[in-house]
Structures are given as C-alpha cells and as structure tokens.
Structure 1
Amino acid sequence: MFSIAKTVALAALILGSSTVMADAKLDKEMNALALNSGCFICHHVESGAKGPNGMPPIGPNWEDVAARYKDQKGALETLTKAVMQGTNPYASHWKDKVTGLAMPPNAVAIKEADAKKLVSWILALKK
C-alpha cells in the first residue's frame, strides 16, 4: 500500500522524467517497484541528477548504467547478481562518479525475479 509521500514522490519521478521510456504502464510499475524496494535512496533514473546536498549521487543513475552495459553479454545476470548480493567496494567501476563505495545486498528488499525485471527495464532505458 502506498503512503501519500510515496505516491507524490513516484508521481514526481514519473512526470519529471525526460528519459525516453516506451511503455507507460511498465514504467509506472518499475518506478513503483524501485520506490518500494528502496532503490531511489541511492539511485536516480536520469543522468545528471544530484545526490544529497548537491553532491554526486550515492549510486549511479540508471541511464548511465544502461549506457555502460549496452550490448554487453551477460549484463542482465551480472547486474541482477549485484542487486541481490551487493558489490565489492574495492572493485568499484563508478569511482569518482558516485559518492557510495559499494551497493549493499538487497535480497531482503526485493525478490530476485523482481530484481531481474527491474534490471531488464533499466538496461532498456535511453537518454
């Protein structure tokens, strides 16, 4: 069930997004999934979005993730695993672009099937 604050935040994310998205129903579903799973605490959809206090965001924005992994074999599996198990802070490939060191494991926040759907949607984003 959505709280008023979550509903307002989700509407702002969807309406304020200039990202080219193909399916409004899927976009709304994936934004709701990300919101309810806590993804927007660290990530933004759009490139150029700032984190707290105008600093770089905690995690990479999803447009940049889509661009970095475009046409990369195994990207869906690699990123789904990163969502579920977290990432190594010593092997960050987003160095100097984000303020976070690593992605924490999210298996308690999202089911693997949902994470895979979300990652698939993220990989399809275009600026």
Structure 2
Amino acid sequence: MTHRLHLRRILLAAGAALPLASALAASEDAAMLKLASSSGCMSCHHVERGAKGPDGLPPVGPAWRDVSAKYRGQPEAEARLTATVMSGSNPYDSHWKGQASGLAMPPNRVAISEADARRLVHWIVGLERGR
C-alpha cells in the first residue's frame, strides 16, 4: 500500500469518527446535565457565565465553565472539588466573591454519591469554553 493511500484511509476513518465523537460528547453532556439536575446542582449552578437568578443576582454558585477555566490543569483539582461537593465549603473562604451570590456550598452527601460527584466534577473540569 502506498503512503498516500494509507494516509487517505486514515483521513477517511478520522472523518467518519467525528460524527460519532460528537454524538458521544452530546450524550455525555446530556447524562451529566441530567445527573446534575436530579442531584439539585442546577438549583445553584449554571453551565454558562452570565445566567441570572430570579432576583437578577448572579447564581448562588459559580458557572461551571468558570470552574473549568479556574481549575483546568491543576493537580488534584478534581479530588479537591469532589471533596467540596461532598463536604461543602467554608463561607469565610469564598473565592468566587462578586461572581456568585452564595458564600458557601452546603454538603451534598445526601444528594449525590461520591462516585457520581467524581464523574460530574470530571465533566465540569473538562468543559471547554464555547462548547
């Protein structure tokens, strides 16, 4: 097989895989949004920045794309964020001041399992801007 023919087959296979990859990503997005909704996460958080609550204030919690941008590439970020989801956060250590109206996240152990929280945090940290 010539190099050119081999390259053409690779490119055709990659092109055929793009719709499948897109469908898988959309399926994962839908699954994670369903998990977040059923666990109560969407009561305080939105995926996109700029969403306002009924009182016109920023959402109680930070937008997940902002969380993704802040923590992407940081070692142990997913473990730290999963621990925060499960145990809550300190109201005196609010690092989202001015971006969210809430001071702290309550513990969520009764709303979501640690395994599901880990999956959701992994998805959040992996969000790309504009996706």
| 1:53 paired residue among 27, 52, 55 | 55
Q: Are 2:78 and 1:79 equivalent residues in the alignment?
A: no
State the alpha-carbon separation in 1 of the partners of residues 54 and 76 from structure 2: 32
Equivalent pairs: percent with the same residue?
A: 57
| 1:107 paired residue among 103, 106, 109 | 109
1:31-57 Cα offsets, whole Å, 9 max, x none, are 000000000100000111112222111
Structure 1 window deviating more from structure 2 (21-30 vs 73-82): it is: 21-30
* Matched positions, count: 107
State the alpha-carbon separation in 1 of the partners of residues 93 and 49 from structure 2: 22
Q: Please name the residue that 1:26 is paired with.
A: 28
State the alpha-carbon separation in 2 of the partners of residues 91 and 53 from structure 1: 24
Structure 1 window deviating more from structure 2 (58-67 vs 45-54): it is: 45-54
TM-score (norm 1): 0.81
Which consecutive aligned stretches of 4+ in structure 1 deviate over 2 angstroms post-superposition? none
What displacement does 1:22 show? 6.9
Structure 1 gap segments, 5+ residues each: 1-20
TM-score (norm 2): 0.79
What displacement does 1:114 show? 0.2
**5 Å matches for 1:85-96?**
85-96=87-98
RMSD of aligned alpha carbons: 1.3
State the alpha-carbon separation in 1 of the partners of residues 58 and 122 from structure 2: 24
Q: Which has the higher contact order (CA 8 A, sep 6+)?
A: 1
Structure 2 gap segments, 5+ residues each: 1-22
Q: Are 2:90 and 1:123 equivalent residues in the alignment?
A: no
Match of 1:106, as an amino acid?
N
Which structure has the bigger radius of gyration? Answer: 2
